[in-house]
Amino acid sequence: MAKHTVVTMPGDGIGNQVLPEALRLLEAVGFDAEYIHADIGWDCWRRQGIALPQPTVDLLAKHKLGLFGAITSKPKKEAEAELNPELRGKGYSYFSPIVTMRQRFNLDTCIRPCISFPGNPLNFIRKKPSGGYEEPFVNVVAFRQNTEGLYAGVEWTNPPEQVRAALATHSKFKPFTSVPGPDLAISVRIITRAAARKICNAAFDWAKKYGYKSVTICEKPNVLRETSGLMEDEAKAVSKEYPGIALWSTNIDAQTMWLTKNPEDYGVVVASNLFGDVISDAFAGLVGGLGFAASGNIGDEVAVFEPTHGSAPKYAELDPPIVNPIAMFLSAAMLLDHVGETTKATRIRNAIAAVVKEGQVRTYDMMRIPGGPKAISQGAASTTQMTDAVLDKLQTEREIDYAGSMVTSV
Ligand code: NAI
Ligand code: MG
Protein backbone atom coordinates (compact mmCIF):
# COMPACT_ATOMS: atom_id res chain seq x y z
CA MET A 1 0.00 0.00 0.00
CA ALA A 2 1.23 3.49 -0.84
CA LYS A 3 2.28 5.74 2.03
CA HIS A 4 0.02 8.62 0.96
CA THR A 5 -3.28 8.95 -0.84
CA VAL A 6 -3.89 12.13 -2.79
CA VAL A 7 -7.32 13.13 -4.06
CA THR A 8 -6.72 14.64 -7.51
CA MET A 9 -9.26 17.17 -8.78
CA PRO A 10 -8.20 18.45 -12.22
CA GLY A 11 -11.52 20.33 -12.59
CA ASP A 12 -12.11 22.31 -15.78
CA GLY A 13 -10.14 23.61 -18.73
CA ILE A 14 -6.39 23.72 -18.31
CA GLY A 15 -6.68 22.07 -14.90
CA ASN A 16 -6.87 18.89 -16.96
CA GLN A 17 -3.64 19.79 -18.75
CA VAL A 18 -1.43 20.81 -15.85
CA LEU A 19 -2.45 18.40 -13.11
CA PRO A 20 -1.43 15.19 -14.95
CA GLU A 21 1.96 16.81 -15.67
CA ALA A 22 2.47 17.40 -11.94
CA LEU A 23 1.77 13.73 -11.30
CA ARG A 24 4.61 12.81 -13.69
CA LEU A 25 6.90 14.95 -11.61
CA LEU A 26 5.72 13.55 -8.27
CA GLU A 27 6.30 10.06 -9.60
CA ALA A 28 9.77 10.99 -10.85
CA VAL A 29 10.89 12.23 -7.42
CA GLY A 30 9.68 8.95 -5.95
CA PHE A 31 6.70 10.21 -3.97
CA ASP A 32 5.07 7.09 -2.57
CA ALA A 33 1.44 7.90 -3.27
CA GLU A 34 -1.77 6.59 -4.71
CA TYR A 35 -3.97 9.05 -6.59
CA ILE A 36 -7.76 9.01 -6.56
CA HIS A 37 -9.61 11.11 -9.11
CA ALA A 38 -12.51 13.26 -7.95
CA ASP A 39 -14.88 15.44 -9.95
CA ILE A 40 -15.28 19.16 -9.37
CA GLY A 41 -16.32 22.21 -11.34
CA TRP A 42 -18.52 23.43 -14.12
CA ASP A 43 -19.50 20.09 -15.66
CA CYS A 44 -20.64 18.92 -12.22
CA TRP A 45 -22.74 22.05 -11.87
CA ARG A 46 -24.31 21.62 -15.30
CA ARG A 47 -25.09 17.94 -14.85
CA GLN A 48 -25.89 17.75 -11.13
CA GLY A 49 -26.58 21.30 -9.97
CA ILE A 50 -23.63 21.23 -7.60
CA ALA A 51 -20.02 22.14 -8.38
CA LEU A 52 -18.54 20.23 -5.43
CA PRO A 53 -20.29 16.84 -5.46
CA GLN A 54 -20.68 14.82 -2.28
CA PRO A 55 -18.39 11.93 -3.37
CA THR A 56 -15.55 14.47 -3.74
CA VAL A 57 -16.26 15.85 -0.27
CA ASP A 58 -16.26 12.28 1.09
CA LEU A 59 -12.93 11.46 -0.55
CA LEU A 60 -11.31 14.59 0.87
CA ALA A 61 -12.74 13.87 4.31
CA LYS A 62 -11.28 10.37 4.12
CA HIS A 63 -7.84 11.01 2.62
CA LYS A 64 -7.25 14.59 3.83
CA LEU A 65 -4.88 15.54 1.06
CA GLY A 66 -5.92 17.11 -2.23
CA LEU A 67 -4.31 18.38 -5.40
CA PHE A 68 -6.58 20.66 -7.39
CA GLY A 69 -6.27 22.10 -10.91
CA ALA A 70 -8.76 24.86 -11.71
CA ILE A 71 -12.45 25.38 -12.21
CA THR A 72 -14.61 27.52 -14.43
CA SER A 73 -17.25 29.70 -12.89
CA LYS A 74 -19.67 32.06 -14.59
CA PRO A 75 -22.03 34.84 -13.49
CA LYS A 76 -25.43 33.97 -12.05
CA LYS A 77 -27.50 34.29 -15.23
CA GLU A 78 -25.11 32.18 -17.32
CA ALA A 79 -24.89 29.60 -14.59
CA GLU A 80 -28.65 29.21 -14.62
CA ALA A 81 -28.80 29.13 -18.40
CA GLU A 82 -26.25 26.31 -18.63
CA LEU A 83 -27.83 24.14 -15.97
CA ASN A 84 -29.32 20.84 -17.14
CA PRO A 85 -32.91 21.77 -18.21
CA GLU A 86 -34.35 19.14 -15.87
CA LEU A 87 -32.80 20.92 -12.90
CA ARG A 88 -33.79 24.47 -13.79
CA GLY A 89 -36.17 26.31 -11.51
CA LYS A 90 -35.63 23.78 -8.74
CA GLY A 91 -33.75 26.07 -6.41
CA TYR A 92 -30.21 25.19 -7.46
CA SER A 93 -27.81 28.08 -7.19
CA TYR A 94 -24.15 28.09 -8.16
CA PHE A 95 -21.54 28.59 -5.50
CA SER A 96 -17.79 28.39 -6.03
CA PRO A 97 -16.62 24.86 -5.19
CA ILE A 98 -13.25 26.14 -3.95
CA VAL A 99 -14.82 28.57 -1.54
CA THR A 100 -17.23 25.81 -0.48
CA MET A 101 -14.32 23.39 0.03
CA ARG A 102 -12.42 25.93 2.12
CA GLN A 103 -15.44 26.49 4.33
CA ARG A 104 -16.57 22.85 4.52
CA PHE A 105 -13.15 21.68 5.74
CA ASN A 106 -12.20 24.91 7.48
CA LEU A 107 -9.13 25.33 5.26
CA ASP A 108 -8.54 28.59 7.04
CA THR A 109 -4.88 29.15 6.24
CA CYS A 110 -3.98 30.01 2.67
CA ILE A 111 -0.25 30.14 1.94
CA ARG A 112 1.01 31.70 -1.26
CA PRO A 113 4.78 31.88 -1.76
CA CYS A 114 5.80 34.63 -4.19
CA ILE A 115 9.50 33.99 -4.71
CA SER A 116 11.51 34.99 -7.80
CA PHE A 117 13.31 32.43 -9.90
CA PRO A 118 16.50 34.12 -11.12
CA GLY A 119 16.48 34.34 -14.91
CA ASN A 120 12.72 34.46 -15.25
CA PRO A 121 12.01 37.08 -17.93
CA LEU A 122 8.76 37.87 -16.10
CA ASN A 123 10.53 39.00 -12.94
CA PHE A 124 9.97 42.57 -11.85
CA ILE A 125 12.78 44.94 -12.79
CA ARG A 126 13.25 48.49 -11.63
CA LYS A 127 14.91 51.49 -13.17
CA LYS A 128 17.83 52.78 -11.15
CA PRO A 129 17.98 56.52 -10.53
CA SER A 130 21.54 56.43 -11.85
CA GLY A 131 20.50 54.69 -15.09
CA GLY A 132 20.21 51.04 -15.99
CA TYR A 133 18.00 48.46 -14.31
CA GLU A 134 18.03 46.27 -11.26
CA GLU A 135 16.15 43.06 -10.53
CA PRO A 136 15.31 42.82 -6.82
CA PHE A 137 15.02 39.33 -5.40
CA VAL A 138 11.45 39.02 -4.16
CA ASN A 139 10.97 36.47 -1.41
CA VAL A 140 7.50 36.99 0.01
CA VAL A 141 5.13 34.42 1.47
CA ALA A 142 1.56 35.67 1.75
CA PHE A 143 -0.77 34.30 4.41
CA ARG A 144 -4.44 34.86 3.69
CA GLN A 145 -7.26 34.09 6.11
CA ASN A 146 -9.26 31.79 3.89
CA THR A 147 -12.71 31.30 5.37
CA GLU A 148 -14.03 34.57 6.80
CA GLY A 149 -14.16 38.24 5.89
CA LEU A 150 -16.10 39.29 2.82
CA TYR A 151 -15.91 35.74 1.44
CA ALA A 152 -17.89 34.25 4.30
CA GLY A 153 -20.79 34.61 1.89
CA VAL A 154 -23.20 36.47 4.18
CA GLU A 155 -24.75 38.86 1.69
CA TRP A 156 -28.06 39.91 0.29
CA THR A 157 -29.68 41.90 -2.44
CA ASN A 158 -32.98 43.11 -0.99
CA PRO A 159 -32.08 42.13 2.57
CA PRO A 160 -34.88 40.82 4.80
CA GLU A 161 -36.63 43.21 7.18
CA GLN A 162 -34.88 41.89 10.28
CA VAL A 163 -31.52 42.60 8.66
CA ARG A 164 -32.56 46.12 7.76
CA ALA A 165 -33.87 46.63 11.27
CA ALA A 166 -30.63 45.40 12.78
CA LEU A 167 -28.58 47.65 10.52
CA ALA A 168 -30.79 50.60 11.40
CA THR A 169 -29.50 50.34 14.98
CA HIS A 170 -26.15 51.59 13.64
CA SER A 171 -25.96 55.34 13.14
CA LYS A 172 -23.86 54.95 9.98
CA PHE A 173 -26.75 53.14 8.26
CA LYS A 174 -28.92 56.25 8.29
CA PRO A 175 -28.15 57.41 4.72
CA PHE A 176 -29.28 54.01 3.42
CA THR A 177 -32.52 53.50 5.32
CA SER A 178 -34.74 54.74 2.49
CA VAL A 179 -33.03 52.79 -0.32
CA PRO A 180 -35.58 50.35 -1.80
CA GLY A 181 -34.73 46.68 -1.07
CA PRO A 182 -34.09 45.61 -4.67
CA ASP A 183 -31.63 48.50 -5.01
CA LEU A 184 -29.67 47.55 -1.92
CA ALA A 185 -26.93 44.89 -1.82
CA ILE A 186 -25.12 44.16 1.41
CA SER A 187 -22.08 42.04 2.26
CA VAL A 188 -20.99 41.37 5.81
CA ARG A 189 -17.30 41.35 6.66
CA ILE A 190 -16.97 38.85 9.47
CA ILE A 191 -13.70 38.50 11.34
CA THR A 192 -13.46 36.36 14.46
CA ARG A 193 -10.71 36.78 17.01
CA ALA A 194 -9.87 33.08 16.91
CA ALA A 195 -9.37 33.02 13.14
CA ALA A 196 -7.43 36.29 13.17
CA ARG A 197 -5.17 34.89 15.88
CA LYS A 198 -4.69 31.65 13.97
CA ILE A 199 -3.64 33.22 10.67
CA CYS A 200 -1.26 35.59 12.44
CA ASN A 201 0.22 32.67 14.37
CA ALA A 202 0.68 30.71 11.15
CA ALA A 203 2.43 33.69 9.55
CA PHE A 204 4.84 34.15 12.46
CA ASP A 205 5.50 30.42 12.70
CA TRP A 206 6.49 30.40 9.04
CA ALA A 207 8.72 33.45 9.50
CA LYS A 208 10.47 31.74 12.38
CA LYS A 209 10.84 28.41 10.60
CA TYR A 210 12.25 29.84 7.39
CA GLY A 211 14.22 32.75 8.80
CA TYR A 212 12.14 35.71 7.61
CA LYS A 213 12.91 38.89 9.50
CA SER A 214 9.49 40.55 9.34
CA VAL A 215 5.77 39.88 9.21
CA THR A 216 3.63 42.60 7.63
CA ILE A 217 -0.02 42.85 8.52
CA CYS A 218 -1.75 44.39 5.52
CA GLU A 219 -5.19 45.74 6.39
CA LYS A 220 -6.99 49.10 6.67
CA PRO A 221 -7.55 49.66 10.39
CA ASN A 222 -7.83 53.43 10.10
CA VAL A 223 -11.13 53.01 8.22
CA LEU A 224 -12.30 49.45 8.90
CA ARG A 225 -11.77 50.09 12.57
CA GLU A 226 -13.54 47.01 13.90
CA THR A 227 -12.62 44.26 11.45
CA SER A 228 -9.16 45.36 10.32
CA GLY A 229 -8.63 46.69 13.84
CA LEU A 230 -9.19 43.22 15.25
CA MET A 231 -6.75 41.69 12.74
CA GLU A 232 -4.12 44.23 13.68
CA ASP A 233 -4.66 43.78 17.43
CA GLU A 234 -4.15 40.04 17.08
CA ALA A 235 -1.05 40.52 14.94
CA LYS A 236 0.39 42.74 17.68
CA ALA A 237 -0.47 40.22 20.39
CA VAL A 238 1.03 37.31 18.45
CA SER A 239 4.17 39.26 17.57
CA LYS A 240 5.06 39.47 21.26
CA GLU A 241 5.59 35.71 21.24
CA TYR A 242 8.17 36.01 18.45
CA PRO A 243 11.02 38.22 19.58
CA GLY A 244 13.42 38.98 16.77
CA ILE A 245 10.73 39.07 14.07
CA ALA A 246 9.55 42.59 13.35
CA LEU A 247 5.85 43.35 12.90
CA TRP A 248 5.15 45.91 10.20
CA SER A 249 1.70 47.27 9.48
CA THR A 250 0.67 48.64 6.08
CA ASN A 251 -2.65 49.67 4.56
CA ILE A 252 -3.81 47.51 1.66
CA ASP A 253 -4.22 50.45 -0.71
CA ALA A 254 -0.86 52.01 0.10
CA GLN A 255 0.80 48.59 -0.04
CA THR A 256 -0.38 48.01 -3.60
CA MET A 257 0.67 51.52 -4.61
CA TRP A 258 4.15 51.05 -3.15
CA LEU A 259 4.40 47.42 -4.20
CA THR A 260 7.11 47.97 -6.77
CA LYS A 261 9.09 50.41 -4.66
CA ASN A 262 10.77 47.93 -2.37
CA PRO A 263 9.23 44.45 -2.70
CA GLU A 264 12.56 42.88 -1.68
CA ASP A 265 12.14 44.32 1.81
CA TYR A 266 9.06 42.27 2.64
CA GLY A 267 9.08 38.77 4.10
CA VAL A 268 5.89 37.21 5.36
CA VAL A 269 2.70 39.18 4.68
CA VAL A 270 -0.58 38.39 6.43
CA ALA A 271 -4.10 39.64 5.74
CA SER A 272 -7.79 38.89 5.98
CA ASN A 273 -9.53 37.08 3.14
CA LEU A 274 -10.14 39.68 0.41
CA PHE A 275 -7.07 41.78 1.19
CA GLY A 276 -5.01 38.60 1.27
CA ASP A 277 -6.40 37.62 -2.11
CA VAL A 278 -5.46 41.03 -3.51
CA ILE A 279 -2.01 41.36 -2.01
CA SER A 280 -0.95 37.80 -2.82
CA ASP A 281 -1.94 38.33 -6.47
CA ALA A 282 -0.05 41.62 -6.44
CA PHE A 283 3.17 40.04 -5.19
CA ALA A 284 2.69 37.05 -7.51
CA GLY A 285 2.68 39.51 -10.41
CA LEU A 286 6.24 40.51 -9.55
CA VAL A 287 7.59 36.96 -9.77
CA GLY A 288 6.05 35.59 -12.94
CA GLY A 289 2.30 35.88 -12.52
CA LEU A 290 -0.20 33.13 -13.00
CA GLY A 291 2.21 30.63 -14.53
CA PHE A 292 4.23 30.68 -11.29
CA ALA A 293 1.65 31.28 -8.56
CA ALA A 294 1.09 28.31 -6.26
CA SER A 295 -0.97 28.01 -3.11
CA GLY A 296 -1.88 25.76 -0.25
CA ASN A 297 -5.21 25.77 1.60
CA ILE A 298 -4.48 24.29 4.98
CA GLY A 299 -6.93 23.22 7.66
CA ASP A 300 -6.44 21.29 10.88
CA GLU A 301 -7.19 18.02 9.11
CA VAL A 302 -7.45 18.54 5.36
CA ALA A 303 -5.06 20.35 3.02
CA VAL A 304 -5.58 21.14 -0.66
CA PHE A 305 -2.89 22.53 -2.97
CA GLU A 306 -3.64 24.42 -6.17
CA PRO A 307 -2.18 26.85 -8.68
CA THR A 308 -3.96 30.15 -8.29
CA HIS A 309 -4.76 30.47 -11.98
CA GLY A 310 -8.16 29.60 -13.36
CA SER A 311 -9.25 27.27 -16.13
CA ALA A 312 -8.12 29.58 -19.00
CA PRO A 313 -10.92 28.29 -21.30
CA LYS A 314 -9.46 29.93 -24.40
CA TYR A 315 -6.40 27.65 -24.22
CA ALA A 316 -8.10 24.55 -22.90
CA GLU A 317 -8.68 22.97 -26.32
CA LEU A 318 -5.27 23.63 -27.83
CA ASP A 319 -3.31 20.60 -28.94
CA PRO A 320 -0.54 20.54 -27.90
CA PRO A 321 -1.39 22.43 -24.71
CA ILE A 322 0.61 25.63 -24.28
CA VAL A 323 0.01 26.77 -20.71
CA ASN A 324 2.75 26.94 -18.12
CA PRO A 325 2.60 23.98 -15.69
CA ILE A 326 5.11 25.51 -13.22
CA ALA A 327 2.42 26.94 -10.90
CA MET A 328 0.97 23.45 -10.67
CA PHE A 329 4.45 21.96 -10.03
CA LEU A 330 5.09 24.45 -7.25
CA SER A 331 1.73 23.53 -5.73
CA ALA A 332 2.72 19.86 -5.84
CA ALA A 333 6.01 20.79 -4.14
CA MET A 334 4.03 22.53 -1.39
CA LEU A 335 2.05 19.33 -0.94
CA LEU A 336 5.32 17.44 -0.53
CA ASP A 337 6.52 19.94 2.10
CA HIS A 338 3.21 19.57 3.91
CA VAL A 339 3.61 15.81 4.31
CA GLY A 340 7.24 16.17 5.34
CA GLU A 341 8.84 15.20 2.01
CA THR A 342 10.91 18.36 1.95
CA THR A 343 13.86 16.89 0.07
CA LYS A 344 11.62 15.88 -2.80
CA ALA A 345 9.96 19.30 -2.76
CA THR A 346 13.34 21.02 -2.89
CA ARG A 347 14.41 18.81 -5.78
CA ILE A 348 11.37 19.94 -7.75
CA ARG A 349 11.96 23.63 -7.00
CA ASN A 350 15.63 23.34 -7.85
CA ALA A 351 14.86 21.60 -11.13
CA ILE A 352 12.40 24.36 -12.04
CA ALA A 353 15.02 26.95 -11.05
CA ALA A 354 17.56 25.29 -13.35
CA VAL A 355 15.19 25.29 -16.32
CA VAL A 356 14.24 28.92 -15.74
CA LYS A 357 17.85 29.99 -15.31
CA GLU A 358 19.00 28.20 -18.45
CA GLY A 359 16.23 29.90 -20.42
CA GLN A 360 16.16 27.34 -23.24
CA VAL A 361 12.65 26.07 -22.57
CA ARG A 362 9.98 28.70 -22.03
CA THR A 363 6.22 28.58 -22.29
CA TYR A 364 4.48 31.41 -24.16
CA ASP A 365 3.89 33.50 -21.05
CA MET A 366 7.60 33.44 -20.23
CA MET A 367 8.37 34.67 -23.75
CA ARG A 368 5.88 37.51 -23.42
CA ILE A 369 4.14 36.52 -26.63
CA PRO A 370 0.39 36.08 -27.09
CA GLY A 371 -0.97 32.68 -26.22
CA GLY A 372 -2.81 30.74 -28.90
CA PRO A 373 -2.21 28.18 -31.60
CA LYS A 374 0.74 30.09 -33.10
CA ALA A 375 2.74 30.21 -29.87
CA ILE A 376 4.54 26.92 -30.53
CA SER A 377 5.67 27.94 -34.01
CA GLN A 378 7.03 31.13 -32.45
CA GLY A 379 9.34 29.07 -30.26
CA ALA A 380 7.26 28.57 -27.13
CA ALA A 381 7.53 25.26 -25.34
CA SER A 382 4.38 23.20 -24.94
CA THR A 383 3.13 22.26 -21.49
CA THR A 384 4.59 18.77 -21.93
CA GLN A 385 7.94 20.07 -23.15
CA MET A 386 8.20 22.20 -20.03
CA THR A 387 7.52 19.14 -17.88
CA ASP A 388 10.12 17.16 -19.81
CA ALA A 389 12.68 19.90 -19.24
CA VAL A 390 12.01 19.93 -15.50
CA LEU A 391 12.14 16.13 -15.38
CA ASP A 392 15.46 16.26 -17.17
CA LYS A 393 16.93 18.55 -14.51
CA LEU A 394 15.70 16.21 -11.79
CA GLN A 395 17.48 13.36 -13.42
CA THR A 396 20.81 15.08 -13.79
CA GLU A 397 20.75 15.79 -10.02
CA ARG A 398 22.96 18.80 -10.56
CA GLU A 399 23.85 20.82 -7.55
CA ILE A 400 21.90 24.04 -8.02
CA ASP A 401 21.87 26.95 -5.72
CA TYR A 402 18.34 28.26 -5.91
CA ALA A 403 18.22 30.96 -3.29
CA GLY A 404 14.45 30.92 -3.16
CA SER A 405 14.07 27.27 -2.28
CA MET A 406 12.00 27.41 0.86
CA VAL A 407 14.12 24.82 2.55
CA THR A 408 17.61 25.76 1.46
CA SER A 409 17.10 29.47 2.14
CA VAL A 410 16.89 29.13 5.92
P1 NAI B 1 -7.40 32.45 -15.70
O2 NAI B 1 -6.44 32.34 -14.57
O3 NAI B 1 -8.03 31.20 -16.16
O4 NAI B 1 -6.68 33.11 -16.94
C5 NAI B 1 -6.24 34.45 -16.98
C6 NAI B 1 -5.19 34.58 -18.07
O7 NAI B 1 -3.97 34.09 -17.53
C8 NAI B 1 -5.54 33.73 -19.29
O9 NAI B 1 -5.82 34.53 -20.36
C10 NAI B 1 -4.24 32.99 -19.56
O11 NAI B 1 -3.60 33.64 -20.61
C12 NAI B 1 -3.37 33.20 -18.41
N13 NAI B 1 -3.04 31.95 -17.73
C14 NAI B 1 -3.73 31.32 -16.74
N15 NAI B 1 -3.09 30.24 -16.33
C16 NAI B 1 -1.96 30.17 -17.08
C17 NAI B 1 -0.88 29.26 -17.13
N18 NAI B 1 -0.81 28.19 -16.33
N19 NAI B 1 0.09 29.47 -18.04
C20 NAI B 1 0.05 30.52 -18.84
N21 NAI B 1 -0.93 31.43 -18.84
C22 NAI B 1 -1.93 31.25 -17.96
O23 NAI B 1 -8.50 33.51 -15.25
P24 NAI B 1 -9.78 34.07 -16.04
O25 NAI B 1 -9.54 34.10 -17.50
O26 NAI B 1 -10.15 35.29 -15.34
O27 NAI B 1 -10.92 33.00 -15.73
C28 NAI B 1 -11.17 31.84 -16.51
C29 NAI B 1 -12.06 30.95 -15.68
O30 NAI B 1 -11.34 30.46 -14.55
C31 NAI B 1 -13.29 31.66 -15.13
O32 NAI B 1 -14.38 30.81 -15.24
C33 NAI B 1 -12.93 31.92 -13.69
O34 NAI B 1 -14.05 31.97 -12.87
C35 NAI B 1 -12.06 30.72 -13.35
N36 NAI B 1 -11.11 30.92 -12.27
C37 NAI B 1 -10.87 29.85 -11.47
C38 NAI B 1 -9.91 29.92 -10.50
C39 NAI B 1 -9.60 28.69 -9.75
O40 NAI B 1 -9.96 27.62 -10.16
N41 NAI B 1 -8.86 28.78 -8.67
C42 NAI B 1 -9.16 31.15 -10.24
C43 NAI B 1 -9.43 32.19 -11.19
C44 NAI B 1 -10.38 32.08 -12.15
MG1 MG C 1 -7.43 35.33 -6.62
pLDDT tens-digit readout, 19-39: 999 999 999 999 999 999 999
Same domain, 232 and 319: no
Say what the pLDDT of residue 271 is. 98
73 C-alpha to ligand 2 centroid (Å): 13
Beta carbon of 101 within 6 Å of any ligand 1 atom: no
Same domain, 135 and 282: yes
Say what the pLDDT of residue 398 is. 53
Evaluate whether residue 116 is within a structural domain: no
For ligand 1, mutation pick of 311, 314, 368, 387 (most atoms within 8 Å of CB): 311
Say what the pLDDT of residue 409 is. 37
Same domain, 227 and 265: yes
CA nearest ligand 1 atom 16, residue: 291
User: pTM for the full model?
Assistant: 0.94
| 368 pLDDT higher than 80 | yes
Domain housing 224: 124-148+191-286
Q: For the chain, what is the mean pLDDT?
A: 95
Say what the pLDDT of residue 402 is. 60
Nearest ligand to the C-alpha atom of residue 70? 1
Tell me the CB-side half-sphere exposure of residue 12, using CA atoms within 13 A: 22
pLDDT tens-digit readout, 80-130: 999 999 999 888 999 899 989 998 999 999 999 999 999 999 999 999 999
Same domain, 128 and 64: no
Structural domain count, the chain: 3
**Among 119, 22, 68, CA closest to 325:** 22
Say what the pLDDT of residue 343 is. 93
Same domain, 129 and 252: yes
Say what the pLDDT of residue 188 is. 97
Evaluate whether residue 297 is within a structural domain: yes
Beta carbon of 386 within 6 Å of any ligand 1 atom: no
| Cα–Cα distance list, 272 to 22, 232, 258, 306 (Å) | 30, 10, 19, 19
Identify the bridge partners of residue 5 per DSSP, sorted by sequence position: 34
CATH number, domain at 312? 3.40.718.10
Same domain, 103 and 10: yes
pLDDT tens-digit readout, 145-186: 999 999 998 999 999 999 999 999 999 999 999 999 999 999
Beta carbon of 22 within 6 Å of any ligand 1 atom: no
For ligand 1, mutation pick of 78, 290, 356 (most atoms within 8 Å of CB): 290
Beta carbon of 21 within 6 Å of any ligand 1 atom: no
Evaluate whether residue 266 is within a structural domain: yes
| Cα–Cα distance list, 264 to 18, 41, 135, 213 (Å) | 30, 37, 10, 12
Evaluate whether residue 118 is within a structural domain: no
Same domain, 175 and 78: no
| 380 pLDDT higher than 80 | yes
Same domain, 138 and 234: yes
End residue of a domain, out of 265, 286, 307 = 286
Evaluate whether residue 9 is within a structural domain: yes
CA nearest ligand 1 atom 37, residue: 310
Mean pLDDT for the stretch of residues 404-410: 46
Same domain, 136 and 163: no
End residue of a domain, out of 286, 314, 335 = 286
pLDDT tens-digit readout, 65-87: 999 999 999 988 899 999 999 99
| 388 pLDDT higher than 80 | yes
Say what the pLDDT of residue 76 is. 85
Tell me the CB-side half-sphere exposure of residue 33, using CA atoms within 13 A: 28
For ligand 1, mutation pick of 52, 94, 309, 317 (most atoms within 8 Å of CB): 309
CATH number, domain at 281? 3.40.50.2300
| 206 pLDDT higher than 90 | yes
Same domain, 24 and 59: yes
pLDDT tens-digit readout, 287-325: 999 999 999 999 999 999 999 999 999 999 999 999 999
| 404 pLDDT higher than 70 | no
Nearest ligand to the C-alpha atom of residue 144? 2
Same domain, 133 and 240: yes
In percent, the amount of the chain with pLDDT more than 90 equals 92
Same domain, 268 and 136: yes
Nearest ligand to the C-alpha atom of residue 292? 1
pLDDT tens-digit readout, 34-47: 999 999 999 999 99
Evaluate whether residue 38 is within a structural domain: yes
